Amino acid sequence: MKDFEPAYMKLIRADRLAERIEKATAILSDCVLCPRRCRVNRLAGETGVCKTGAEARVSSHGPHFGEESPLVGSYGSGTIFITHCNLMCVFCQNHDISHEGKGEPAGPSRLAWMMLRLQHMGCHNINFVTPSHVTPQILAALAQAAAEGLNLPLVYNSGGYDSVDTLKLLDGVFDIYMPDFKFWDPDLAGRTCHAPDYPEAARAAIAEMHRQVGDLTMDDRGIAARGLLVRHLVLPGGVAGTPEIMGFLAGLSPDTYVNVMSQYRPLGGAGTVPEIAGYPSKSDFNQALADAKAAGLRRLDPPRRVFMVV
């Protein structure tokens, strides 16, 4: 991006990134990186819900053309799919990555190489998919990548189940936050993700993300430079609590950029939760769009086809 400087360059010039890496890495010894608060010593090889020890694992990386319009541009969003997840939705469409652990170890040097390769391929950003459980590892890799010339904005693409304390360690690191807001109902969150605190955690996390980066801003090509995007997956019968979620997002700002997504499929263990065992109807999706507009939201992402180049 012309005249663009990613936020992390200011941290590096102020010699503050190393401090963030040290603080984040220390958390791994009694891990409370996310709301699960498993309190295992990941530095010693112990694992909690995310099944990840001291080293990150990556399933794949490459330009992605199915992400939100402001991320894709002409050359794609440079996605790095992190293996495992801290949320573990029963209906996950990437079950082999999140639940089964498909991927390979990726230390800081390997992660830095991936970032630089994606930049060399022309991608408009570096998009970490499900990063919540590996933020210290990402910070360590960023230090190496930036020293070797990385100058793209970083995207934090999470399920929304994030700790505010951890997000504060990322303030000034990520230019773009792209969380999900999946459910408003604690009971449904408990039965689908074993996380009845999800709605509360997501509200707090998304508010903190918005505090850090504000509404989405773009360059003259329509490419995202900084700000918040929120994804919301339409579930059958409107059980996700779409009106309440859209009202919350509009309360942050009517210019919150939102992707109302229609691609839900009852995969994995979705059949064990009756409310989400079927497919959403066209009327479910149209109602969700109407809910977003009724809440006063003015920026909705247009539908796109999904494919990747690897």
55 located within any domain: yes
Point out which residues pair with 299 in neighbouring strands. 257
Q: pLDDT (tens digit, 9 = 90+) per residue, 145-184? A: 999 999 999 999 999 999 999 999 999 999 999 999 999 9
Using CA of residue 77, residue 79, residue 254, residue 298, what is the dihedral sign?
positive
306 located within any domain: no
Ranges of residues in the chain with a pLDDT under 50 are: 305-310
251 located within any domain: yes
Point out which residues pair with 308 in neighbouring strands. 64
Residue 274 sits at the vertex; the CA angle it makes with 272 and 276, to the nearest 5 degrees, is 95
pLDDT value at residue 303: 66
- DSSP for 157-182, written as a single string: E--S---HHHHHHTTTT-SEE--B--
Domain of residue 166, residue span: 7-300
CATH number for 168: 3.20.20.70
pLDDT value at residue 253: 98
126 located within any domain: yes
HSE, side-chain direction, 13 A CA sphere, residue 229: 27
1 located within any domain: no
- The pTM of the full predicted model, rounded to 2 decimals, is 0.95
163 located within any domain: yes
pLDDT value at residue 4: 84
309 located within any domain: no
What are the Cα distances from residue 46, in Å, to 30, 53, 212?
Answer: 10, 6, 32
Domain total in the chain: 1
Query: Which is nearest to 171 in space by CA: 200, 213, 139, 129?
Result: 213
pLDDT value at residue 305: 46
SS3 content of the chain, % helix, strand, coil (to 5): 40, 15, 45
201 located within any domain: yes
